[in-house]
Structure 1
Amino acid sequence: MLVSALLTSVGINFGLCVLFWTLYSSLRKQPANYHVYAPRLLSDGQSQGSSTFRLERLLPTPDWVRRAWQSSEEELLSSSGLDAVVFMRIITFSLRVITLAVVIGVFILLPVNFSGDQLHDVNFANLTSSSLDIFTVSNVKDGSNRLWAHFCAVYLLTIFVCFLLYHEYKYVSSRRISYFLSSKPQPHQFTILVRSVPVSAGITNDTKKLYKRLIHLQREPTASKSQPGSFFGLFEAKDDLVDHYEKKLEDLQENVRLVQSDVSMAGEEVRAAFVSFKSRYGAAVALHIQQADNPTQMVAEQAPEPHDVYWPLFSESFMRRWISQLIVIVACILLTALFLIPVVVVQGLTNLSQLEIWLPFLKSILNVAFVSQVVTGYLPSLILQLFLMMIPPIMKFLSSVQGHISISEIIKSACNKVLWFTIWNIYFANVLSGSVFSQIFIFLEPKNVPARLAVAVPAQASFFIAYVVTSGWTSTTSELFRLIPLICSLIRKCFSGNTNNELKDPAFPYHGVLPRVLFFGLLGITYFFLAPLILPFLLVYFCLAYTIYSNQFINVYAPLYETAGKFWPIVHNSMIFSLLLMHAIAVGIFTLKKLPLASSLVFPLPVITLIFNAYCRKRFLPIFVAYSAETLIKKDREDINDATTAEFFNKLVAAYQDPALLPVQYSSDSNRERTSLLSPV
C-alpha cells in the first residue's frame, strides 16, 4: 500500500471520528436522547431530563471527557462491578505497553529503519507515492550492526511486558479475593450444580401408575366405593384404597416433584439440580469430590448467580454436551475456512495491479488518483470490518449450544473463540499476502514458520495501520455515538410519539470488545520492532478506548452478571502468545538479515517466557478457578456474627427457581432463557 493511500484512509476515518465525537457531545445533552445516551443514569434515577429549551445544549462540550478520565476504580467498582474494573485495567495495561513501545519504536527504531539503504528503488523525494516498506526493518541493510538495536528492543519489551503481566495478575487476584470477602452472602457461593444425575429407577414410573390409578378410583361412582370391607383382612374397601394411594403418592412427592400433568405423565425427569449447603466451605468440598464411580455422572460445577443461569441446556446429559462441543469445534473450523474468502478479496483490493486484472472494466476509474487511494487504502479494511461484525454474534450462539450453564460462561467462551478467530483470519491470513492457499502448509513445517513470517509480516504493515484506524478509531467512536439505538429511538417516536417503552439497560458486549483490544495489543507487540509506524495509531486507539468505555460504563451499560475478574486469564494467555509470536518473527528476521548471532541469542526468550507463564499459572490461575479453603472459612466465620444470615438462608431455598417446576399460571415466560425445561411429548 502506498503512503498516499494510507493517508487517505487515515483522513477518512479521522473525519468520521470527529463527526461522531461532535454529534455525541451535542446530542447527549438533549432530553429526548437521554434514554439513548444515558439509560443507566435514568434507570438509577440519577438523571432527570428537563424539557426546557436552552441554546447551549446545541453546542458540543467536552466536559464528559474529563469525567471519564477522572473516574476512579472505586467508583467504577461500586457502580459496575469488578468485571468493569478489570476491563479498564486491560486497557491501561495495554496503554503502558504501547507507550513504552512508542518511545523505543518511534524515537529509536523508526529513524534506524528510515536511514537504511536496503531498498534502493525508493523515491525519497516523493514519499507519498512510495511504499511504507522504507519505515520497516526491511530497509535495514543485511548484516548491519544497526539490527542490534532491534535485538535489544525485543529483549527490553519482553522483560517489561512480563513484569507488567505479573503485577497485573497479582493485583487482579488480590482484588478478586477482596471483592469476595467484602461481599454479602450470595446464593451461588453456597450452591453447586449437579448434572447428569442418573435416572431414579422406578420412582417416576411408580408415581405415574399411582397417579393414573388414583384418578381412575376418584372418577368411579360413589356407590362402587362403598362395598363391604375386608374379608379376613385380605381385601380393603375402595375408600381405604383411595386413602392409601393418596398417602403413598404424597410420600413419593418428597422424592419427585411433579410438573404439569401432561409433562409428568411423560415420565421424564430433570437430570440436574442445584444443591445448596449451609457453608461455602461445605459447597466447595462437595464440588471437588467425585460424586459417582462413573465420572460422566453426577458431574458437579460451581453454580452461577441466579440471574446468570442459562436454562435451555440446564438438564442436558454429559454425552449430549460432549457431542455439542465437538460439533461446535467443527463449526468454528468451517467458519474460519469460509472467512478466507473475504480475506482474499480484501488482499486483492490492496494491490491495485491485481485489482485491474480481476476487474479490467474498472481500469479507467481506478486510474483516478483519489479513487485508487480510497479503494486500496480505505475500502479493504472497511469490508473486512463489515464481515467481522457478524462473528461475535455467531460465536456467542455457538458457545450457547455447548452446554454452559451461565450467560457469563457463554460470553467468556465466545471471547476466546472471537479472539483466536481474529488472530488467525485477520493476522495470519492477511500477512500471507493473499497467497494463503499456497502458503497455508508452512504451519505443517514448524522450522519454516519464522522465516516465512519474517518476510510476510512487515509487508502488511500498511494494511494493519488502515485496519487500526477503521476497526479501532471509527468503530470505537461509533460505539460512543450509538447509531442503531438512536435510529430505533427516532423510528419509535415517529410511530408511537413517545419513548416510554424502552429496552432495559444494555449489558457490556465483552465478546465483541475484549478480543479487539487484545488483538490490537498483539499487533503492537509483534510490529513493535518490525514497523514502528503503527504504534502511534495504536496509542491513539487505546486512549480513545479508555475515554469512551469509561464513559459508557458510567452512563450506558449495566452489569448483567459478575464473574469477579475471570476474564483476566484470557488477557494473560493472549499476551504470552503475542510475545512468543514476536520471538518467532525475530528469529526469522535476524536469520534473513544475516545476523545469526542475534538469531541464536533470541532463543532463550521464548523459554524464559514459557517458564514465566508456567509460574503464573501455578501462582495465580487457581484463584480464578475457585476460592481457597482459607478464604472460604474466613468468610463463613464472619457470617456467624451476621444477624442477617438466618434470613438469607430462608431465601436461599427459593433462590434458583426452575421454570419447569413453577405452577402452571406462573410458567408462561416468553424469555427464551427462562422457558420450560421439559415439554410434552
Structure 2
Amino acid sequence: MILSALLTSVGINLGLCLLFFTLYSILKKQPGNLTVYAPRLVAERKLRQISDFNLERLLPSAGWVKKAWDLSEDELLENSGLDGVVFMRIFTFSLKVFAVAAIIGVSILLPINFLGSQLDVDFSDLPNKSLDSFSISNVNNGSNRLWIHFCAAYVFTGAVCYLLYYEYKLISLKRIAFFYGSQPLAHQFTVLVRGIPVLSGSSFSENIDNFFRDYHPHTYLSHTIVRRTTKLQQLMDDANKLYRTVAQMKSDEHTSQRSRYNGFLGFFGTRDRHLHTLEKRLEVMEDNMRMEQFSLHEKEVPAAFVSFKSRYGAAIALHIQQGINPTEWVTEPAPEPDDVYWPFFSTSYLRRRICKLVVFVASALLTILFLIPVVVVQGLTHLEQLENYFPFLRSILTITFVSQVITGYLPSLILQLFLSFIPPIMKMLSSIQGYISMSEIQKSACNKVLWFTIWNIFFANVLSGSALSQVNVFLEPKKVPTLLAQAVPAQASFFISYVLTSGWTSLSSELFQLVTLICSFLKRIFSREEIDDLEVPTIPYESEVPRILFFLLLGITYFFLAPLILPFLLVYFCMGYLIFRNQLLNVYAPKYETGGKYWPIVHNSTIFSLVLMHIIAIGIFGLKELPLASSLCIPLPILTLLFNEYCRNRFLPLFKAYAAECLIKKDREEQNDPRMTEFLEKVMTAYQDPALKPGQYSRNTDTQTSPLLNSTQI
C-alpha cells in the first residue's frame, strides 16, 4: 500500500466516525430512541421519555463524552460489577503499553526507519511510495542503527512485563475486595455434584441426602436434584410465544373494532373468535405442561446442587474427593442461579464427549473455510494479481481514487464483514460443548474467537502466498523466525488499514447501534413495545475482548517493525475507553458475574504477543545481517515465559477459588447476622429449574399458584 492509499483509508474511516458520532448525539435525544441508546436506564426507571419538543434535540453535542469520562471506577463497579471493571482495565492497560511504545517507536524508531536507504525512497514523490519506507525493512542491512531496535525490544518487553504484573496484582486485590464487600450469594454456599451412584430401592435424591448427612453432618444444608426438563422447556417456550401473542392482541388499540376480520384474507373468523381460539390453545398447552411437570419425579439426572451452611463447608466438599471411586460424587463449583445453563444437564456422559469432538471438528473446518475470504482479501491488496484474474477491470483500476479505495479500504472491510459472523458461531459451538453456565460458555467462546482471529487474520494473512506453499518449513523450527521475519513486515500496511476499519469504524458503529436502531424502528411500526418487556443487553465479551486483544497483539508485534501503526492504535484505545464507559453506563447491564476471570485470558494473550515479537526479532536481525543481535534476543522469550510462570503461580490460583483465609473470615463476619437464617432458606430453593416454576398463562388462578413439585421432591 502506498501512503496516499493509507490517507484515503484514514479519510474514509474518520469521516464515518464523525458521521456516527454526530448521528448518535442527535438520535439519543429523541424520546423514541431511549430503548436503543439507554435501555438500561429505561429498565431501571432512571430515565423517562419527555415528549416536549425543543430545538436542542436536533443539535449534536458531546455531553456524553464528559459523562463517560467522569464515571469513577467505584461507580463502574457498582453498575457493571467486577467484570465491567476488568473489561475497562484492558483499555487502560493497553493505553499504558502503547503510550510507552509510542514514545519509543514514533519518536525514535520511526525516524530511523524512514531515514534508511535500503528501499531507495524518493522524497520528491512521497505520496506514491510504499509504507514499507516507514518500517524496519528500510534500514540498511548490517547498520549499527539496528542496535537501537534491539535495545527497544528489551526496554519494551520489560515495560510490558511490569505493567502486566501490576495489573494482575491490582485485579487480584480487587477480586478479593469484591468478595469481602459482596452480600451472601447462593453459589458461594453451593457445589454441583455429578456421578451420583445408583442404589437399588432408592432415588438419586435419597442417595445424595443420605451421603451428605453422613459425611458432612455439620455443614450440609440441602440439595436440589436435577431433572430432564428439555421437553418441558420446549413447551414453556411455545407457551410464552403464544401468551405474548394473546397479550398483544388484547392490548391492541383496535380490539374494540368487533367487525374486523382476522382470518384468511379477512373472509373467515372474527378477531374475537381468533382470540378465543388462541386462549383455548394456551389453556391446553398449560395442561400439557403441568402433566409433564408432574412426571418429572421419574426423570432424575445423577446430578444435584448441594448447598451448605457456610462457604468453608462448600469449599471442603468442592476440593476434597468425596468417594473412593473418583468417577462418583464428582464436585465442581456451582454457577450463580441465573447463570446456570440447564439444557446440558439432561445429556449423558457419552453424549458430552461426542459433542466435544464435534465442536473440535467444526472449529477446525470453520478455520479452514475462512481461508477463502482471506485469500480474496489478499488478492485485493495486490492490484497486479487482480488485473491478471479480471482483465476487464484493468481500465477501472487505473483510476487513482478507485485503486486507493480497493487497496486501502476494501480488503479490511470485507474481512471485517466475514469476521462478524464468527462470535455467534463460536458461542453456539461452546453451548453444545458441555458447559453448565452461560458465563463459561461466553468465556469459552471468547477463547475460541481470540485464537481463531490470531490464526485466520494474523497468520493466514502474513503467511499467504509463497509461504504457504513451503509447508516443509513448519517441520523445521529453526526456519520459523526467518519465515515470520520475511512475511510479517510485508503485511504492515494491511494491518494498519485493518485497525482503521475494524477498530475505528467498528467502535463508532458500536456507539451508533445501527442494527438495534433499525429493529426498534420496525418494532414501533408493527407492534407495541412495552418497557416491562424491554430486554437489556449484556456486553458481548466473546466478540469485544478478542478484538481488543488482537489489536494489542498487532501493536506489540509491529512495535519495532512498523511503528507507524502505533498512533492509530492509540486513537482506537482512547475511543474504546470513552465509548464503552458510555455503553456500560447506559446500554449494557450484567446478568451474571465471573469475578474478573477474563483477566487471565488477557495476560496469556499478552505473553503470547511478546513471545511472537521476540521470535520475529530473532529472525529480522538475522535477515538484516546482525547475527549478534539475533543471538542476544534468544533470552527474551525465555525470560518472558519464566515471568509468565511466576505470575501463574502467584496470581492464577486466586482466580480459580478463594483461599480458606477469605472464606473463613467472611463466614465469621456473618455468623451472628440474623439475616443469614432467611438467606439460607432462600438458598434451599435457589437452584430450582425455571421449568419447574408454576405457569402463569391461563385465567385459572389455582394452576397459577399451585406448586409444580412438592418441596420434598426437590
Q: After the TM superposition, which of the residue ranges 82-91 and 428-437 deviates more from structure 2?
A: 428-437
Distance in 2 between the 1:445 and 1:81 partners?
Answer: 47
* Cα offset, 1:600, TM superposition: 1.0
Aligned match of 1:87: 87
Q: Does 1:626 align with 2:625?
A: no
**Matched ranges for 1:165-564 at <5 A:** 165-203=164-202, 264=295, 268-435=299-466, 437-496=468-527, 500=531, 503-564=534-595
* Cα offset, 1:204, TM superposition: 5.8
Aligned match of 1:641: 672
The residue type equivalent to 2:582 in the other structure is N
Secondary structure at 2:345's aligned position in 1?
coil
Distance in 1 between the 2:136 and 2:169 partners?
Answer: 36
Q: After the TM superposition, which of the residue ranges 38-47 and 182-191 deviates more from structure 2?
A: 38-47
Q: 1:6 to 1:189 in 2, by over 3 A?
A: same
* Cα offset, 1:643, TM superposition: 1.9
Aligned match of 2:216: none
State whether residues 276 and 283 of structure 1, in contact with CA within 8 Å, keep that contact through their aligned partners in structure 2.
yes
* Cα offset, 1:346, TM superposition: 0.4
Secondary structure at 1:46's aligned position in 2?
coil
Distance in 2 between the 1:441 and 1:73 partners?
Answer: 51
Distance in 2 between the 1:106 and 1:190 partners?
Answer: 53
**What is the TM-score when the length of structure 2 is the normalising length?**
0.84
Q: Does 1:112 align with 2:112?
A: yes
Which runs of no fewer than 5 residues in structure 2 stay unpaired?
A: 207-223, 230-289, 699-708, 710-714
Distance in 2 between the 1:662 and 1:36 partners?
Answer: 31
* Cα offset, 1:322, TM superposition: 2.8
* Cα offset, 1:440, TM superposition: 4.8
Distance in 1 between the 2:689 and 2:527 partners?
Answer: 37
Q: After the TM superposition, which of the residue ranges 189-198 and 652-661 deviates more from structure 2?
A: 652-661
Secondary structure at 1:125's aligned position in 2?
helix
Distance in 2 between the 1:86 and 1:57 partners?
Answer: 34
Aligned match of 1:141: 140
Distance in 2 between the 1:303 and 1:535 partners?
Answer: 43
The residue type equivalent to 1:488 in the other structure is C
Report Cα offsets for 1:423-462 as digits up to 9, x if no partner. 0000011112444641455333211110010011111010
Aligned match of 2:287: none
State whether residues 492 and 499 of structure 1, in contact with CA within 8 Å, keep that contact through their aligned partners in structure 2.
no
Q: Does 1:11 align with 2:14?
A: no
* Cα offset, 1:506, TM superposition: 0.5
Secondary structure at 2:304's aligned position in 1?
strand
* Cα offset, 1:658, TM superposition: 2.0
Secondary structure at 1:192's aligned position in 2?
strand
* Cα offset, 1:325, TM superposition: 1.9
Report Cα offsets for 1:637-659 as digits up to 9, x if no partner. 01112121111011111101124
* Cα offset, 1:257, TM superposition: 9.1
Secondary structure at 2:488's aligned position in 1?
helix
Q: 1:339 to 1:256 in 2, by over 3 A?
A: closer
Distance in 1 between the 2:666 and 2:502 partners?
Answer: 45
Report Cα offsets for 1:356-413 as digits up to 9, x if no partner. 1111121111111111111111110000000000000011011111111111010011
Aligned match of 1:586: 617
Aligned match of 2:124: 125
The residue type equivalent to 2:427 in the other structure is K
Distance in 2 between the 1:545 and 1:401 partners?
Answer: 32
* Cα offset, 1:142, TM superposition: 0.7
Q: 1:441 to 1:69 in 2, by over 3 A?
A: farther
State whether residues 342 and 384 of structure 1, in contact with CA within 8 Å, keep that contact through their aligned partners in structure 2.
yes
The residue type equivalent to 2:19 in the other structure is L
* Cα offset, 1:266, TM superposition: 10
**What is the TM-score when the length of structure 1 is the normalising length?**
0.88
Aligned match of 2:240: none
* Cα offset, 1:78, TM superposition: 0.7
Aligned match of 1:236: none
The residue type equivalent to 1:398 in the other structure is L
State whether residues 257 and 661 of structure 1, in contact with CA within 8 Å, keep that contact through their aligned partners in structure 2.
no
* Cα offset, 1:141, TM superposition: 0.6
State whether residues 226 and 302 of structure 2, in contact with CA within 8 Å, keep that contact through their aligned partners in structure 1.
no
The residue type equivalent to 2:107 in the other structure is F
State whether residues 43 and 531 of structure 2, in contact with CA within 8 Å, keep that contact through their aligned partners in structure 1.
no
Q: 1:483 to 1:590 in 2, by over 3 A?
A: same
Q: 1:644 to 1:372 in 2, by over 3 A?
A: same
The residue type equivalent to 2:526 in the other structure is F
Distance in 2 between the 1:502 and 1:102 partners?
Answer: 48
Distance in 1 between the 2:324 and 2:203 partners?
Answer: 24
Report Cα offsets for 1:125-174 as digits up to 9, x if no partner. 11221111110000001110000110011001100010011110000000
* Cα offset, 1:203, TM superposition: 3.6
Distance in 2 between the 1:10 and 1:664 partners?
Answer: 56
* Cα offset, 1:503, TM superposition: 3.3
Secondary structure at 2:344's aligned position in 1?
coil
Distance in 2 between the 1:300 and 1:608 partners?
Answer: 37
* Cα offset, 1:97, TM superposition: 0.3
> Rg: which structure is higher?
1
The residue type equivalent to 2:18 in the other structure is V
Distance in 1 between the 2:46 and 2:692 partners?
Answer: 39
Report Cα offsets for 1:534-553 as digits up to 9, x if no partner. 00000000001001000000
State whether residues 271 and 315 of structure 1, in contact with CA within 8 Å, keep that contact through their aligned partners in structure 2.
no
Secondary structure at 2:191's aligned position in 1?
strand
Distance in 1 between the 2:331 and 2:356 partners?
Answer: 18
State whether residues 26 and 57 of structure 1, in contact with CA within 8 Å, keep that contact through their aligned partners in structure 2.
yes
* Cα offset, 1:261, TM superposition: 6.4
The residue type equivalent to 2:682 in the other structure is K
State whether residues 195 and 317 of structure 1, in contact with CA within 8 Å, keep that contact through their aligned partners in structure 2.
no
Distance in 1 between the 2:697 and 2:156 partners?
Answer: 59
Report Cα offsets for 1:575-614 as digits up to 9, x if no partner. 0000000000000011111111111111111111111111
Q: 1:187 to 1:508 in 2, by over 3 A?
A: same
* Cα offset, 1:258, TM superposition: 11
Distance in 1 between the 2:46 and 2:228 partners?
Answer: 46
Aligned match of 1:47: 47
Which runs of no fewer than 5 residues in structure 1 stay unpaired?
A: 208-253, 668-675, 677-681
Aligned match of 1:230: none
* Cα offset, 1:327, TM superposition: 2.0
Report Cα offsets for 1:193-241 as digits up to 9, x if no partner. 1123233445469x9xxxxxxxxxxxxxxxxxxxxxxxxxxxxxxxxxx
Aligned match of 1:595: 626
State whether residues 36 and 485 of structure 1, in contact with CA within 8 Å, keep that contact through their aligned partners in structure 2.
yes
Q: After the TM superposition, which of the residue ranges 657-666 and 402-411 deviates more from structure 2?
A: 657-666
Distance in 2 between the 1:502 and 1:33 partners?
Answer: 16
* Cα offset, 1:256, TM superposition: 11
Distance in 2 between the 1:10 and 1:167 partners?
Answer: 34
Distance in 1 between the 2:695 and 2:403 partners?
Answer: 65
Distance in 2 between the 1:256 and 1:97 partners?
Answer: 47
